[in-house]
Amino acid sequence: MRRILAAAIAAVLLLTGAACTDDKKVEAAPGTKVSVGVIPIIDVAPIYLGKQKGFFAKRGIDLTLTPEQGGAPIVEGVLGGKYQFGFSNVTSLMAAQSAGAPLKAVASGVASNGRAGRDFSAIVVRDGSPIRSARDLSGKRIAVNTLKNLGDTTVRQSVRRAGGNADNLSFQAMPFPDMPGALQAGKVDAAWVVEPALSAVLTQGGQILASNFVDTAPDLTVALYFTSRGTMTAKPQLVTDFTEAIKESMRYAAGHPEEVRDVVGTYTQINDTVRIAMILPSWPEDINRRSLERVATLGQRDGIFTKAPTLDQLLP
């Protein structure tokens, strides 16, 4: 009887130990901490959704998203090691690449929906403005989020297409969320805005002058997710995992517009009217190279690039 009892106790202890071991295996290992520089606009809704839905966590990525004013400081952050990955407009990335920065895009970020007057980006004026067309912007004060960047290039192109003088524009840098108030207060004559700032302006009675992305190129690829070549060399599996997660996130966002509207309110201050009214961009997986070639040509014309960007070195 003692031998039977001892054997039973040993069996129980063995099973308990095995269970503890299994529990430890079931517990999720701490994810690799990854910081990403983003801009608090609708463009990055997919990565916030992807974090919510666990698309990064299931690949072992513990994601931190840090807002910046524009693409240029995010590029600097990735190059300086502050961020492992970043989201930036294509002009900032082209400028950095043409200057010799060791950057590489890993995935598409966001694209114009191609609908003039109903794109997620626009040049706007306040209610009652005497400015009736992009042609009338010559000599006027125009808000953009950063200087000598995508805003400059695409606004100039809208002015050119309207028959105006694109060489006589006065750009003023400010964060997108500040633009609706600055426009209402008369601190600027016009503004280049993207959602949700666009709907904030429109709900205050503002008017759209032009859809600058549509004027620049059909279905313009506006921004990309990217990393440094150093990270690609040192952590290739992390780059693969991040790329897969962001692509899954973009597919999910494209198929769940109402969740996009909800998640934007978690990282920007918007009311329900703006949330419902927002015009959504496109989130295609493919990068529209022809549209980037157009942006590169215009950027050289406007003096943004010191030399022509080499897209083969930048794109995946």
pLDDT, tens only, 152-211 = 999 999 999 999 999 999 999 999 999 999 999 999 999 999 999 999 999 999 999 999
The residues spanned by each domain of the chain are: 32-113+219-307, 121-216
Residue 181's pLDDT is 97
Residue 156's pLDDT is 97
Please tell me the CATH code under which domain 121-216 is placed: 3.40.190.10
pLDDT in tens, 30-48: 689 999 999 999 999 999 9
Q: Lowest-pLDDT range, 29-38, 142-151, 281-290?
A: 29-38
Query: How would you classify the pairing of strands 32-38 and 61-67?
Result: parallel
The yes-or-no verdict on residue 145 having pLDDT over 90 is yes
Residue 11's pLDDT is 39
C-alpha–C-alpha distance, residues 202 and 283, integer Å = 23
Mean pLDDT of the chain: 91
* CATH superfamily name and code, 32-113+219-307: Periplasmic binding protein-like II (3.40.190.10)
Q: Lowest-pLDDT range, 22-36, 77-91, 125-139, 166-180?
A: 22-36
pLDDT in tens, 163-173: 999 999 999 99
The yes-or-no verdict on residue 2 having pLDDT over 50 is no
Cβ atoms of residues 267 and 67 within 8 Å = yes
Question: What is the DSSP track for 192-226?
Answer: EEETTHHHHHHHTT-EEEE-HHHHHSTT-EEEEEE
pLDDT in tens, 46-65: 999 999 999 999 999 999 99
* Contacts within 8 Å (CB) and 24+ apart, 48-51: 48/263, 48/264, 48/266, 48/267, 49/249, 49/252, 49/253, 49/256, 49/259, 49/260, 49/263, 50/245, 50/246, 50/248, 50/249, 50/252
The yes-or-no verdict on residue 97 having pLDDT over 50 is yes
The yes-or-no verdict on residue 27 having pLDDT over 60 is no
CA dihedral 253→257→259→261, nearest 10 degrees, is 110
Residue 25's pLDDT is 34
- Residue ranges of alpha helices (H) inside the chain are 2-26, 45-53, 71-79, 90-98, 150-161, 179-184, 197-203, 212-216, 229-234, 236-255, 257-267, 272-277, 289-301, 311-314
The yes-or-no verdict on residue 273 having pLDDT over 80 is yes
